Structure 1
Amino acid sequence: MIIPPKNLSKPHTNVTFRAIVIGFLLIPVNTYFIMWNHLKYWSTLPTTISLIYNAVISLMILVSLNFLIQRFAPGLALKHSEFMTVYMMLSISSALAGHDMIQTVMPTMSDGFWFATSENEWRQLFWGHLPPWMVVGNLSILEGFYEGESTFYTQHHFWGWVR
């Protein structure tokens, strides 16, 4: 006779507000780690492998802290579904901030306009084939992106990229 484990008789817990708050608090730290690791050390990029290791490390830290919480305040300990929620939030945010997303997508949206010259004839060859909602073609917006000495956080730049 097979006896199911006792913890399976508990009702399934859904995503909790607390898990979402923890995830949102860890996303900036997680994203900063990815950017810092990439720009300062050019070392292994956590999002170029299938198991995004910075999310796994964050999860390991949370599990370790949870052991202490279980020992001293068992009612506050995180549940499995909460760990899964935080892990998924960190994995998705890592993928969006990682090497193969923002760092390649943003230049792809604008390189065809910024680097167009009369010699390469990009304007005549493909500007008309690019959907306007998918690219940033305003050179005054792109100037700050390519030459620096500017910020993304102006209305002109922000809406030029977001529209």
Structure 2
Amino acid sequence: MQGDPEVIEFLNEQLTAELTAINQYFLHAKMQENFGWPKLAKHTRAESFDEMKHAEILTDRILFLDGLPNYQRLFHVRIGQTVTEMFQADRQVEVEAIDRLKRGVEVMRAKGDITSANIFESILEDEESHIDYLDTQLDLVEKLGEPLYLAQLIEQPDS
């Protein structure tokens, strides 16, 4: 099925964002694991996998519309050095995604591509959930301070 070029471009732009987020979240998860924060690393890794699912859905839709998914492009990967910087960097990715998804839904609906709009709305719901989690964590870090916040994330190895 031949898709609208503007819709395909929005789908590809969001695909680029998802591929970037996969890398950013995965590296943050590996860093968190290395820093001894396994609980946080597990959650961040799951977020990376969520973004991978989004990338798969977008890829399928682009191909269905006879477009070519662009896997060669990435946005800037923002890597934090502290837990606060990681959360802030990840939050920025989500803020940008939410704006892009909302704009995309409007364009897709105006062009009559309800299925693509529904896909964007589903991804939007997930991204709003991600940003809610990040806002909560940033609020906790602010209230508790990084050392106390991180103390909750440390697990002792089994003896």
TM-based fold match above 0.5: no
Structure with the higher helix share, 1 or 2: 2
Q: Which of 1 and 2 has greater Rg?
A: 1
TM-score (norm 2): 0.31
TM-score, with normalisation over the residues of structure 1? 0.31
